Amino acid sequence: MSQSTFPRRGFIKGLGAAAIAAPLASMLSSCAAGTGGGEDDIKQKSAAAKSKDNPFGMAENSKLDAVVFNGGYGIAYCEYAANVMKKKWPKTESVSVKASNHIGQELQPRFADGNPPDVLDNAGSGRINVSAILDQLDSIDDLLEAENYEGKKIADTLYAGVKDTGTYGDKFVELNYVMSAYCLWYSGSLFKEHGWEAPKTWDDLLKLGEEAKKAGKYLFLFGKEAADYYMLMCLGSAIKEGGDEVRLNFENLKPKAWSQEPMQAALTSLKKIIDNGYMKPGGAGTQFTAAQSQWCHDQAALLYPSGSWIENEMKSQTKSGFDMMGCPEPSVSNSPAMGHGALHAGPREAFLFPSKAKNPGAGKEFMRAMLSKEAATNFAKTVHVPTIVKGSVPEDGFGSTALMSLSKMLDVAEDKMFPIRFSTFYGMTKDNLVPWNDFLSGKKSVKELTDAMQAISDKVANDSSIKKTTFK
């Protein structure tokens, strides 16, 4: 799976960034005094004069050190971009793209030693809590001001929202590469066979649940590491209903945010689905990809809430002729404030650029290669998800029904796309999983879930050791 912005993906989330944040912050501060002139000398030797063609001053004989989360998107797309960079700069000494399944665990010692990589893809289980390393990250405004490999200003080639999504406080530090969306995924062929329509509201879901039961299927299922996908579905539904005010109450850890009326309506509707037996039992004891296989291969359930990486993540297990398609998360009412087409969507898959890297120019040059039309088109073609680079997906979606469906949803949503960032920013994933597994298993009431989630939010809000940001 993958995030970000959309908490997500690969946010498969057994470890939780919260466990990493505190020790990482203390280790970073303790080592700060020990990283001095020697490191600066190394940087100076690896730098060259900045120019229009070399906007980050990367020396021709530089070494690229990139660490990439090996999740739903794999790392082949980054290896491809590294080769594009190598073609542009043939004298580059080496371009190392290392795969990691535990970003925080593996990179924490490197940050603490003052030896972070030039660029990292901060995603997956145990991603680093951005709030813990914000002061250790380079600002990247210069990246958007640079020209891409086709000679166009990078900022002019991207979808809207890229800078906002990666800005914390007043510092732009995170480049989210993938244009992602959370939605409900289903089999187009199965729905066509039974004459079912994609649901728009929770009432539609309840009716579809009864139809699923008649067909010997469940409406939903879940896996233990991804139980919070249903949290995101309910958050998205509540935000669509009430608008930005509802979103910002969650984002900024406001008291009683989980008691907001739109959220209570969404949770109550999901509880009806669970109580009616429309949720496949046993999810709390099922590994998430096994659960996803039950959906896309066995077709045990009609719908699955996930991010747009789901097709690529499950491509080897998806039933032939499945025709994966998506629809927006359910609306609470027939007239939500943001409209039915509003999406929890936008840029995600966060790339960070440590300020103490040996070759910071190489890290940004690598991202310039990633933002070339060649690399962006390769990503969409091979992973079946669009990047933040506009115009990289043809109308036929490279033959992918999921990609065609996603592209249409993004076009309809336009300026009605919204982020949900608080959970991943503050490393709350691990704590979130426990109450959501219990709720989906029928062991918690709406009130008990509400109280548990508010307690998690309040704990972070009241912890003075955790750096806060104001989301807008």
Instruction: Name the DSSP class of 113.
Output: T
What is residue 17's predicted lDDT score, i.e. its pLDDT?
A: 37
Q: Please write the tens of the pLDDT for every residue from 257-302.
A: 999 999 999 999 999 999 999 999 999 999 999 999 999 999 999 9
8 Å CB contact between 238 and 260: yes
Three-state DSSP at 24 gives: helix
Percent over 90 (pLDDT), the chain:
75
Q: Please write the tens of the pLDDT for every residue from 98-121.
A: 999 999 999 989 999 999 999 999
CA distance 382 to 393: 11
Residue 175 phi/psi, 5° resolution? -105, 105
| Mean pLDDT score, 425-438 | 94
40 C-beta neighbours (distance < 10 Å), count: 11
Please name which of 205, 202, 268, 212 lies closest in space to residue 240, comparing C-alpha atoms: 202
Calculate ∠ Cα 367-372-375, nearest 5°: 90
Three-state DSSP at 99 gives: strand
Residue 64 phi/psi, 5° resolution? -95, 130
Minimum mean pLDDT range among 11-15, 122-126, 317-321, 368-372: 11-15
261 C-beta neighbours (distance < 10 Å), count: 12
What is residue 180's predicted lDDT score, i.e. its pLDDT?
A: 86
What is residue 34's predicted lDDT score, i.e. its pLDDT?
A: 39
Calculate ∠ Cα 215-216-221, nearest 5°: 110
Map tokens 């996908």 to a residue. Answer: 229
CA distance 414 to 99: 34
What is residue 125's predicted lDDT score, i.e. its pLDDT?
A: 62
Instruction: Name the DSSP class of 307.
Output: E
Q: Please write the tens of the pLDDT for every residue from 18-35.
A: 333 444 444 444 444 334
Q: How confident is the model at residue 392 (pLDDT cuts 50, 70, 90)?
A: confident
Pairing of strands 94-100, 171-172: unpaired
Residues near 295 by beta carbon (within 8 Å), at least 6 away in sequence: 221, 301, 303, 304
Residue 78 phi/psi, 5° resolution? -75, -35
Minimum mean pLDDT range among 10-19, 336-345, 400-409: 10-19
